[in-house]
Amino acid sequence: MKIESDFLVIGSGIGGLSCALHLAKQGNVSLVTKKEKADSNTNYAQGGIAAVLSETDTFEQHIKDTLEAGAGLCHRDAVEKIVREGPQHIHHLEEIGVNFTKKKTGVYDLAREGGHKAYRIVHVKDHTGRDLEKALLNAVKAESRIKVYENHIAIDLITEHHIFEPQPRDQASLHCWGAYVLDSKAEVVVRFLAKATILSTGGCGQVYLHTTNPDIASGDGIAMSYRAGARIANMEFMQFHPTTLYHPDANSFLISEAVRGYGARLLTRSGEEFMQGYHPMASLAPRDVVARAIDNELKKRGDSCVYLDISFKDPESVRSRFPNIYENCLKYKIDITKEPIPVVPAAHYSCGGVRTGLDSATSISGLLACGEVACTGVHGANRLASNSLLEAVVFAREAATKAVELLRTNVQIPNIPPWDDTGTFNSEEWVLISHDKKEIQTLMSDYVGIVRSNLRLERALSRMRLIGQEIENFYKRTKVTEELVELRNLATIAQLIISCALLRKESRGLHFTTDYQKPNDDKFLKDTSIQKSAI
């Protein structure tokens, strides 16, 4: 089966939906999403979008805060781009139906989060992502030129590797003409063809045992791009959100950084504040600092969690500002207006991904990327809170602009062979899949977490290579399924994170190693870049 359109968008988060809406003005769009349309990291985002919308704030201060959080690795041109274009994108989101919270005077109710020296987080209470996703989905639904394919998971990008023999020697000669995509319900693989393919597949938090990410965050776009020969960068910088609810049934429910911005304090089990000893901004320090501080306190004291206390604030104001967090905590018999919240760090956001330029183009012609799947240079070694949704909408428009340019070129899509599963069989050994997934997640959490070492990383890479080879062998002789595709991608992502971490022999931002505990600007004030031959 073959489906051909002007543009192929893979992923239905804020980046994919925004890009599809821009593209629909110029051509037909196939939007592929592996679950229901609203299942994405965007939908889980509580805090909001950082943008300069107050007279007391400036572009220069937002840029400075971002650069400081990024620990020297942010690309200034990319940072300036999202910051200066931020307000216009906020207004555009309002035009399509996002009702950002405002004060009685009509001005935005701006919040403050860790690393920000000004109030600049525009939000919809504490469920900004959900409202963003809803507004974008309604806009997409109303657009006749966008066809959404739910329950479709991309397996691999289509490049010269699938067509020509011998394969191109020069990576720069690679082109992408779409992807092989599994229709999970019909259990058939479809060729989705287009002159421009846009990846907006989100992050890879599921490579860890504890994560704020939804089940679908298995790094599909990054893994596919790596296998296709694209340049991948900065995968060692995995951001752990400092505060997720510590409860056996809570599944790492995120307690937004906006709670600390509202005045909440981090406490030990005995009720002592501890962040003053780690950073001048105390509980409002950047995420990497707070996560490491909590990790250190837990190890030092032998406690299982720390506590986030907002109970000293007016109860009604807390319930009004954080209705989602209040209700969710109440499910676990925790009243945040009366008692501290038990919290621990959990894997949250990948600052690395598929390397792109300011035009969202990757190193493969015809392949673009936006959102968490991309490494644009904005976040450097540590993402500043609430810059991610802003980055996604800004670079979604750039991806659309570049995709339209590609549509107008004379590049012809060659004859793409159908998916060939000859010689494979349906295996009943699915217990191996669940076992391998748990082993990957446990290994990554134990050896490649907030604090690392050469010994841990080398052991992790050795074991991950074996697991990866086992999965690849299983993949080649078994009919493809959604679970198998995700497992294969997780194995690839794990190896990319470990390999990048081993290349960076210093501590910087989110990457902290006991073997090199300080930054080394002379040798490592640069991105970590990796391609297929490197693993």
Q: What is the DSSP code (8-state) at residue 340?
A: P
The Cα–Cα gap between 236 and 500 comes to: 5
Question: Integer distance in angstroms from the first to the last C-alpha of the chain?
Answer: 34
Q: Is 202 within a domain?
A: no
Q: What is the DSSP code (8-state) at residue 291?
A: H
Q: Is 254 within a domain?
A: yes
Nearest to 493, CA basis, from 282, 362, 350? 350
Return the structure tokens found at 415. 């004859």
pLDDT over 50 at 535, yes or no: no
Q: Is 260 within a domain?
A: yes
Q: Is 3 within a domain?
A: no
Return the structure tokens found at 141. 């639904």
The residue out of 346, 371, 397 marking a domain boundary is 346
Return the structure tokens found at 85. 């274009």
Q: Is 504 a catalytic residue?
A: no
Q: Is 400 within a domain?
A: no
The total domain count for the chain is 2
Q: Is 289 within a domain?
A: yes
Q: Is 122 within a domain?
A: no
The residue out of 346, 373, 403 marking a domain boundary is 346
Distances in Å between the alpha carbon of 63 and those of 54, 69, 86, 139, 387?
15, 10, 11, 31, 11
CATH number at residue 330: 3.90.700.10
Dihedral of the CA atoms 7, 13, 19, 22 (nearest 10)? 110
Return the structure tokens found at 286. 């950047």
Q: What is the pTM of this model?
A: 0.92
pLDDT over 80 at 328, yes or no: yes
CATH number at residue 503: 1.20.58.100
Q: What is the mean pLDDT of the chain?
A: 92
pLDDT, one tens digit per residue, over 439-478 is 999 999 999 999 999 999 999 999 999 999 999 998 988 8
Select which of 112, 191, 231, 287 is catalytic: 287
Q: Which structural domain, as residue segments, surrounds residue 507?
A: 430-534
Query: What mean pLDDT do residues 85-95 have?
Result: 96
Query: What mean pLDDT do residues 326-348 have?
Result: 96
pLDDT of residue 188: 96
Under DSSP, is residue 213 helix (H, G, I), strand (E, B) or coil? coil
The Cα–Cα gap between 136 and 509 comes to: 33
The residue out of 328, 346, 364 marking a domain boundary is 346
pLDDT, one tens digit per residue, over 42-83 is 555 566 999 999 999 999 999 999 999 999 999 999 999 999
pLDDT over 60 at 170, yes or no: no
Torsional sign, CA 259, 263, 268, 269: negative
Lowest mean pLDDT among 21-35, 71-85, 360-374, 433-447: 433-447
pLDDT of residue 443: 96
Q: Is 251 within a domain?
A: yes
Total residues found in the chain within this entry: 535
- The 10 Å CB-count burial string (b at 16+, else e) for 307-327 is bbbbbebeeeebbebbebbbe
**pLDDT band at residue 114 under the 50/70/90 scheme:** confident
